[in-house]
């Protein structure tokens, strides 16, 4: 490994050097950023990346040295090389902001070089040693001081020897000076930040973070171009362009350059220092946007392009979702870790399936204006006391997390008929009766009540399972533990019906074969009895009909005989005797 070999970092805080968050001390924009560290620690590689990425924000002052150029070094670029006599003359004339003799050679920074960089609107970066840093401190110039430290002196020695450019004597001398430099990095109240290097990417990320506290870094066209990926057709299919931008963790405050990247469909601006999103509004093809871990406050979401389907604005200071209703195509919305106290206007997001609004400031019984399309909802870690003001129905909601709130019951859950997963852990639920609304959730598979007082009652699991099972809610997991068949049987045995009721239920669902045969025999006997009754009735009817017919016939015969007698009398005959 060379001086620029892989180095990593852990930001250290010593005395008043950094605040509680590990960031450098606050102050105005400095004229100078002083970077110090022993030879071989990786200063050169870190500074090259910084200057390449932010050429409009920082500029390097070219130091003066009297040592001989190393292979590849260019006069006026890496150093201003001059002889020792000329350098000493410049010192005498007061032309140096700082200077020192190191390893027998003179190094220094001219005041004119710093003024030239500042005149261009940039902060001047000085790569100097401990002696020079002390002189800059004493000059009264507005400056930020950052120390780059090795993970250990043993690792530093390994890197110096790996260079292959130094004699043994030179290496020993550098190691001697390095011990002094590392010791100086413990000086109280001197350094704004100390970065301990171990891997290059982590070290560079921390260096940017510390500098961005004092300097407003800007996303340049060149830096943006270097972060583009995924070549493909534009939204209107008229051209081929890069569609994705990963500009995360650049620590920039200004992204105005993105106005000219109208083809972008996915942009990651997380872990920056953005305070507004006005530069994003012209991106009319944008589908996915991440602005998590920025400095957004107020109601910054109203100006976003309406084409968005996925938005992550978590870890900011947003306190209002006003205007978000215009993003009618949103399917995924992450707003966790903000300062939101009201959920208003979201019912207009008719495509929204996932909403994360955990770790906010929802309190009491907040009105929740939510869309009917929701499938997953996270309200964890707020101060919600009741969900009674949920929408009348959330027909497609499958997963809800309201853990770490102040709920005392499950009111409102009955409006989510498709709910499969309900997380109510760490609330204030004390009684099983408070869970009654869950009895309407026939699709419920997993229920988490851990951390509630209800879990401390005797036979809590059985007592909780029984009313759910009774209403057809077959919960498979309770408090992240599977519910067993034995538990379900035990729940009914302990809290269920009387013996007679259980027998009745059993016979309804599992009829006794012998009982069925007895029922059939009884039905057969009943049929026989009915048949006997029908036969007797028919015989009585038949006898009555026969008697009636005989009487009618007799009456008819008598009348016929009388008529014949009358006829005989009319002609003087003799009537026959009647029978």
- The residues carrying an active-site annotation are 70, 163, 174
Query: DSSP of 224-273, one letter per residue?
Result: HHHTEEEEEE-TTSS-EEEEEEE-TT--EEE-GGGGG-TT-SEEE--SS-
Q: What phi-psi label fits residue 76: left (phi over 0), alpha (psi between -120 and 50 degrees) or beta?
A: left
How far is residue 279 from each of residues 87, 263, 268, 296, 334, measured CA to CA in Å? 49, 14, 14, 13, 20
* Burial environment of residue 138 by CB neighbours within 10 A (0 to 12, 13 to 18, 19 or more): exposed
How many angstroms separate the CA atoms of 335 and 318, rounded?
8
Strands 383-384 and 363-364, sheet pairing: parallel
Contact 389, 365 (CB under 8 A): yes
> Hey, is 35 helix, strand or coil?
strand
Query: DSSP of 143-185, one letter per residue?
Result: EEEEEEE-S-HHHHHHHHHHH--S-HHHHHHHHHHHHHHHHHT
Among 283, 247, 296, 267, which residue's Cα sits nearest to residue 53? Answer: 247
Among 374, 350, 351, 377, which residue's Cα sits nearest to residue 362? Answer: 377
Give the distance from CA 150 to its chain's centroid. Answer: 36
How many angstroms separate the CA atoms of 203 and 148, rounded?
9
Task: Report the side by side order of strands in the sheet with 58-60.
Answer: 10-12, 193-196, 143-149, 32-36, 123-127, 58-60
Contact 34, 177 (CB under 8 A): no
Q: How many helices (H) and strands (E) does the chain have?
A: 12, 29
> Residue 106 — φ and ψ, nearest 5°?
-95, 135
Tokens of 353: 């399936």
How many angstroms separate the CA atoms of 319 and 313, rounded?
12
Largest CA distance in the chain: 194
Contact 110, 90 (CB under 8 A): yes
> Residue 29 — φ and ψ, nearest 5°?
-65, 125
Among 379, 297, 281, which residue's Cα sits nearest to residue 289? Answer: 281
How many angstroms separate the CA atoms of 518 and 527, rounded?
14
* Burial environment of residue 546 by CB neighbours within 10 A (0 to 12, 13 to 18, 19 or more): exposed
H or E element in which residue 310 lies = strand 310-312
Contact 84, 101 (CB under 8 A): no
């Amino acid at each position: 490994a060379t001086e620029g070999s892989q180095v990593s970092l852990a930001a250290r805080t010593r005395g008043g050097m950094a605040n509680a968050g590990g960031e450098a001390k606050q102050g105005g924009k400095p004229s100078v950023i002083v970077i110090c560290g022993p030879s071989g620690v990786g200063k050169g590689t870190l500074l090259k990346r910084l200057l390449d990425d932010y050429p409009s924000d920082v500029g390097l002052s070219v130091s003066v040295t009297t040592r001989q150029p190393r292979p590849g070094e260019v006069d006026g670029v890496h150093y201003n090389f001059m002889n020792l006599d000329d350098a000493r003359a410049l010192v005498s004339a007061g032309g140096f902001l700082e200077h020192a003799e190191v390893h027998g050679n003179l190094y220094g920074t001219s005041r004119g070089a710093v003024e030239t960089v500042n005149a261009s609107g940039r902060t001047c970066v000085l790569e100097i040693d401990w002696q020079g840093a002390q002189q800059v401190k004493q000059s009264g110039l507005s400056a930020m001081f950052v120390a780059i430290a090795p993970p250990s002196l043993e690792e530093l020695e390994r890197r110096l020897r790996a260079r292959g450019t130094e004699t043994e004597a030179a290496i020993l001398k550098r190691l001697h000076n390095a011990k002094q430099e590392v010791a100086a990095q413990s000086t109280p109240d001197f350094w704004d930040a100390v970065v301990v290097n171990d891997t290059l990417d982590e070290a560079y990320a921390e260096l940017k973070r510390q500098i961005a506290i004092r300097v407003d870094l800007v996303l340049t066209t060149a830096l943006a171009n270097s972060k583009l990926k995924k070549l493909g057709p534009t939204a209107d299919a008229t051209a081929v362009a890069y569609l994705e931008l990963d500009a995360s963790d650049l620590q920039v405050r200004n992204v105005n350059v993105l106005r000219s990247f109208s083809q972008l469909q996915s942009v990651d601006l997380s872990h920056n220092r953005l305070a507004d999103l006005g530069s994003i509004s012209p991106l009319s093809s944008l589908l996915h946007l991440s602005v998590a871990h920025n400095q957004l406050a107020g109601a910054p979401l109203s100006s976003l392009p309406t084409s968005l389907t996925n938005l992550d604005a978590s870890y900011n200071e947003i306190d209002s979702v006003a205007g978000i209703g215009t993003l009618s195509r949103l399917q995924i919305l992450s707003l966790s870790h903000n300062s939101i106290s009201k959920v208003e206007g979201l019912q207009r997001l008719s495509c929204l399936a996932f909403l994360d609004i955990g770790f906010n400031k929802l309190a009491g019984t907040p009105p929740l204006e939510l869309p009917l399309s929701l499938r997953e909802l996270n309200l964890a870690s707020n101060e919600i006391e009741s969900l009674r003001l949920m929408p009348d129905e959330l027909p497609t909601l499958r997963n809800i997390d309201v853990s770490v709130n102040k709920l005392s019951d499950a009111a409102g859950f009955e409006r989510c008929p498709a709910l499969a997963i309900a997380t109510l852990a760490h609330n204030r639920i004390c009684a099983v009766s408070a869970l009654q609304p869950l009895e309407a959730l026939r699709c419920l598979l997993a229920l988490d009540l851990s951390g509630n007082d209800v879990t401390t009652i005797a036979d809590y699991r059985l007592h909780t399972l029984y009313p759910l099972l009774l209403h057809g809610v077959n919960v498979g997991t309770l408090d992240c533990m599977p519910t067993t068949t034995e538990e379900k049987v035990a729940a009914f045995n302990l809290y269920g019906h009387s013996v007679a009721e259980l027998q009745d239920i059993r016979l309804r669902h599992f009829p006794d074969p012998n009982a069925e045969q007895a029922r059939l025999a009884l039905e057969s006997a009943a049929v026989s009895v009915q048949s006997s009754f029908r036969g007797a009735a028919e015989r009585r009817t038949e006898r009555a009909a026969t008697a009636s017919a005989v009487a009618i016939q007799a009456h008819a015969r008598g009348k016929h005989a009388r008529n014949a007698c009358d006829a005989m009398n009319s002609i003087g005959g003799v009537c026959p005797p009647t029978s």
